[in-house]
Structure 1
Amino acid sequence: MALAHTFKANPHWLPRQRPHAIAAIPGENGLPFVGNTLKMLRDPIAFGQHMVSNYGRVFRNHAFGGPTVSLMGPEANELVLFDRDRIFSSEQGWGPMLNLLFPRGLMLMDFEKHRADRKVMSVAFKPEPMRHYAEALNAGIARTVSGWSGKPMRFYDSIKALTLDLAADSFLGMPLGPEADRINQAFVDEVQASVAPVRIPLPGTQMRKGVKARAYLIELFKREIPKRRAGTDDGGGHDFFSQFCRATDEAGQPLSDDAIADHMNFLMMAAHDTITSSATSLVMLLGRNPEWQDRLREEIAGLGLNDDAGLPYGQLDRLVLTEYAFREALRLVPPVPSLPRRAVRDFEFGGYHIPAGTMIGISPAYTHKMPEHWPDPQRFDPMRFSPEESKGRHKYAWVPFGGGAHMCIGLHFATMQIRILMAHLLSRYRIELDEGSGAEWQAWPIPRPKDGLPVRFVPLG
């Protein structure tokens, strides 16, 4: 298996920014070679608060291989994510972390190329496919959670296996079978490699494991493409993979095998890893706040659902409090704590001139805890998202799904899956956490509890 041995930027990327170009911006470089990377990995929230306290909401940093300017707060989020003037490149921002792992993924595209591929992919998230996904999610979730009764378990591990199965059913249209464990581990290796300190796939490094994992997954997807193009697979053609293989671009041409495989690799990772993190944080917070379990359970009971049928697609919008609770979990534990971009043109912000070529970082995790937008920010309070409480809040104070042209394409799928999961869990069980369960989380690259979140699902009397 051939592996790339160096990270190579795409030819159109701007050259690496020299530190002296942003020397006028206050900040600190940290240790030689690694900069502040280790501090950021250890506790990104504390690091961000330290830097803002010392240097303000625009500061210079050195991490993950180079100088960065961090812009903190909702105004910065709006500038970067809405990107009215097309100043910020997502491809060149994420590229140094992801180019060896998820090349040609939707997140690593900009402007017209991004718009064209996103348009092709959006067919998978229209109402009819979403109805099909809802049926598959109900069946898969009911089948699995019915076996969770009473026994101690590590929720993160269990929900990760379930969300991978659900993503395979909805997006691939096929069971993973005996390869399931290897596929799951391959996604784990890819994601962990994205923040590995060593950025080239040298033998024995996490990056090499990630690159090998990508090669395995790409081969898995490519061997299925001919059947999907011809419509000879066994999945019935309703899944995203089949639709994507038969889709055409604006010129009427089918996408290449490489493009399809890379999009599937990124989509499958995002469709189960980020939802795993979000479902885990929500279950943890409901376990710590049993009064909210009761409120959501009452809302779910009001729908008069049958356990086997689950939550029909047409009933999703009736679970208003459930959505508020999910949003609050995403506020407290955003699945993507920070978002990188690269300035392709000079711009001004916060009284500073920031030149083209500068790596830019914004922080949902920091913004979501700013007390001026979220009073008593550590408290779990889903009613923050009621119309009354939301009135007047900055639109970009809550950005767990990003924003602008790069708003997460699967956000409605994620919300639907969480609503269906909660309907099945809370109509059957009471969530009970062990003492100290979920006390410490690994923040990067996608948040997860270090103890796996020990939990019990106690059948309702």
Structure 2
Amino acid sequence: MKDSPSPAFAQLANAFTRRRSNHDRKLPPGPEGLPLLGSMVDVRTDALSMFERGRREHGDTVRYRFGPFDMVAIHRPQDIRTVLLERADDFHKSPTYQGLELVVGKGLLTSEDQFWRRQRKLMTPAFHHKRLLGFCDHMVRCSTELADEWDELVANHRGAQLPIVDLHTQLLSLTFRIVGLTLFSTELSDKAGDMGPALATVLEHANHLAVSMLLVPPPWVPTPRNLRFKAAMQVVDDVVQGIITERRNSREDTGDLLSMLMAATDETGQIRMSDRELRDEVATLVLAGHETTAQALTWTFMLLSRHPVIERRVVAEIRAVCGDRPPSMEDLAALDYTGRVIDEAMRLYPPAWLIERQALVDLELDGYSIPAGTLVAISPWTIHRHPAHWPNPEGFDPDRFLPETVAARPRYTYLPFGGGPRQCIGVNFALYEAKLVLATLLQRFSVELVSGQDLSLEAAVTLRPAHGMKMWLRSRA
């Protein structure tokens, strides 16, 4: 008996079959691209420019070819609403998320259908507003301790110039520490000295898979990259599983997110998460929780460095609300302008810069046929710069997020956390953290971009500075 074709081969064969059957349909316009490859080279070299150019030259609904696959980028709010909300069940995550699945397993980010609904329902109470407020002390304490380290750095600096830090690296370390304390009530770096470097290797590999499309060896091939990833993943899994096992054995409720997830049950009170399910959700929260917030804060500090008038207004608000004491959870609502600055930074530099779905059925968007199997791309990077909804789209203007301005704008024109039922479950956690970290550090320091550095963007799983973000540190004291 002949071997059945591999899933990858079957997927390619189905894609070619769909391509042949598309000639009778009204498909969206788009770039021709290269023979056979289509726009594969463009998406790998500069995906942000590719999506911007596509919208500018072909309109709000653009079709790209990537080898045998078709992708349609949509920009109309009503179409985005259709995909993310009204017909969400007619779409799955795209196959490009398979690389992330190697890292986070079947967590909320990658799971589908009934299992995803069950997990989302089990996890939602852990992210209730009142529960999240209990984590604010960790956020402020960790930020204050980083500011103390900066104080020491400034005090010990003997050169004529101010000390320089890679702010991106510093913020990644800070948010990693915060997620460890809020998720596990522990310092993750104390659990295993290699945890931080292992997590960096795992995340770099996920980024690599995201930008490489299909042009990578499968994970079972023993390439040096795959072997490094496997070893790093083993470190991460050992630490996470060790914490879960320790908590199971002690039966201690520490009030952190892990305790809440371990105690979560369905409506019958009988079904709880298994250790494997806990591992996958925890891995998702560790990776997504610290990475995206660090990117948002990095770009916020960069923009404030370039717009000193706005920075002075933020600092004045922090001083008016907090005086000389560190910010607290009670200050969150009063730090209104600070929040608008973060919102505007995420408009210009959305950490989750691309949302992808795969159509499970034939449908129509903007008058065009979207055959089953088509990848549908929603790019916050491009949508957040759409001139139909954002006057002076490249400008940095936090007052775009005044309540009356937000109310006048269509709902699906701002998507830093996605939308619909699969909107990021940690949106409030991320916003509280970003506001408290920014307020704590700005209260004591101004940061100034080091001139001449390469600030190229890396559009992978998240939108990152490709070469870090070097900043001068200046103490306000």
Asked if TM exceeds 0.5, the reply is yes
Change (3 A) 1:103 1:260: same
Say whether 1:40 aligns with 2:43: yes
Question: Helix, strand or coil: the match of 2:134?
Answer: helix
Residue 173 (structure 1) shift: 1.6
Give me the whole-angstrom Cα distance separating, in 1, the residues matched to 2:119 and 2:350: 26
Change (3 A) 1:199 1:277: farther
Structure with larger Rg:
2
Residue aligning to 1:166: 178
Question: Helix, strand or coil: the match of 1:60?
Answer: strand
Residue aligning to 1:226: 245
Change (3 A) 1:144 1:8: farther
Task: Work out which of the residue numbers 53, 69, 82 in structure 2 matches 1:66.
Answer: 69
Give me the whole-angstrom Cα distance separating, in 1, the residues matched to 2:183 and 2:200: 18
Residue aligning to 2:218: 200
Question: Helix, strand or coil: the match of 1:281?
Answer: helix
Change (3 A) 1:359 1:303: same
Residue aligning to 2:396: 380
Change (3 A) 1:102 1:180: closer
Q: Is the 8 A contact 2:15 2:68 kept in 1?
A: no
Question: Helix, strand or coil: the match of 2:357?
Answer: strand
Say whether 1:331 aligns with 2:327: no
Residue 226 (structure 1) shift: 2.4
Task: Work out which of the residue numbers 92, 97, 112 in structure 2 matches 1:110.
Answer: 112
Give me the whole-angstrom Cα distance separating, in 1, the residues matched to 2:472 and 2:386: 33
In structure 2, stretches of 5+ residues that fail to align are 155-162
Q: Deviations over 1:329-354 (max 9, x none)?
A: 00001111111101112211111121
Give me the whole-angstrom Cα distance separating, in 1, the residues matched to 2:115 and 2:226: 27
Q: Is the 8 A contact 2:195 2:239 kept in 1?
A: no
Give me the whole-angstrom Cα distance separating, in 2, the residues matched to 1:170 and 1:183: 20
Change (3 A) 1:107 1:29: farther
Aligned AA (1:223): G
Residue 212 (structure 1) shift: 4.6
Task: Work out which of the residue numbers 277, 282, 289 in structure 1 matches 2:295.
Answer: 277
Residue 126 (structure 1) shift: 2.0
Change (3 A) 1:189 1:8: farther
Give me the whole-angstrom Cα distance separating, in 2, the residues matched to 1:380 and 1:54: 25
Residue aligning to 2:206: 191
Give me the whole-angstrom Cα distance separating, in 2, the residues matched to 1:85 and 1:303: 42
Q: Is the 8 A contact 1:364 1:400 kept in 2?
A: yes
Structure 1 residues 19-418: aligned runs within 5 Å = 19-23=19-23, 24=25, 25=27, 26-28=29-31, 30-31=33-34, 35-63=38-66, 66-84=69-87, 86-90=89-93, 92-149=94-151, 150=154, 151-176=163-188, 177=190, 178-195=193-210, 196=212, 197-198=215-216, 200-201=218-219, 202-204=221-223, 206=225, 209-232=228-251, 237-251=254-268, 252-307=270-325, 310-418=326-434
Change (3 A) 1:7 1:108: farther
Aligned AA (2:261): F
Give me the whole-angstrom Cα distance separating, in 2, the residues matched to 1:278 and 1:367: 17
Residue aligning to 1:3: none
Say whether 1:460 aligns with 2:462: no
Aligned AA (1:445): V
What RMSD, in angstroms, separates the aligned Cα atoms of the two structures?
Answer: 2.7
Give me the whole-angstrom Cα distance separating, in 2, the residues matched to 1:225 and 1:30: 49
Q: Deviations over 1:356-377 (max 9, x none)?
A: 2222111111100011111111
Change (3 A) 1:230 1:294: same
Q: Deviations over 1:290-343 (max 9, x none)?
A: 111111111111113454xx2222221111101110010000011111111011
Give me the whole-angstrom Cα distance separating, in 2, the residues matched to 1:83 and 1:341: 14
Q: Is the 8 A contact 1:155 1:454 kept in 2?
A: yes
Moved more, 131-140 or 142-151: 142-151
Give me the whole-angstrom Cα distance separating, in 1, the residues matched to 2:173 and 2:88: 42
Give me the whole-angstrom Cα distance separating, in 2, the residues matched to 1:240 and 1:370: 38
Change (3 A) 1:265 1:352: same
Number of residue pairs aligned between Structure 1 and Structure 2 = 449
Residue 185 (structure 1) shift: 2.1
Change (3 A) 1:438 1:226: same
Question: Helix, strand or coil: the match of 2:333?
Answer: helix
In structure 1, stretches of 5+ residues that fail to align are 1-5
Question: Helix, strand or coil: the match of 2:364?
Answer: strand
Moved more, 100-109 or 260-269: 100-109
Give me the whole-angstrom Cα distance separating, in 2, the residues matched to 1:241 and 1:451: 34
Give TM-score, length-normalised by structure 1: 0.89
Give me the whole-angstrom Cα distance separating, in 1, the residues matched to 2:416 and 2:95: 18
Residue 16 (structure 1) shift: 4.8
Change (3 A) 1:394 1:16: same
Name segments (4+ residues, structure 1) moved above 6 Å.
Answer: none
Give me the whole-angstrom Cα distance separating, in 2, the residues matched to 1:210 and 1:67: 30
Q: Is the 8 A contact 1:159 1:276 kept in 2?
A: yes
Change (3 A) 1:218 1:316: same
Question: Helix, strand or coil: the match of 1:294?
Answer: helix
Residue 128 (structure 1) shift: 4.1
Q: Deviations over 1:93-122 (max 9, x none)?
A: 554443333321102233433222112112
Give me the whole-angstrom Cα distance separating, in 1, the residues matched to 2:171 and 2:462: 15
Q: Deviations over 1:254-285 (max 9, x none)?
A: 21111111111111100011111111000000
Aligned AA (1:62): R
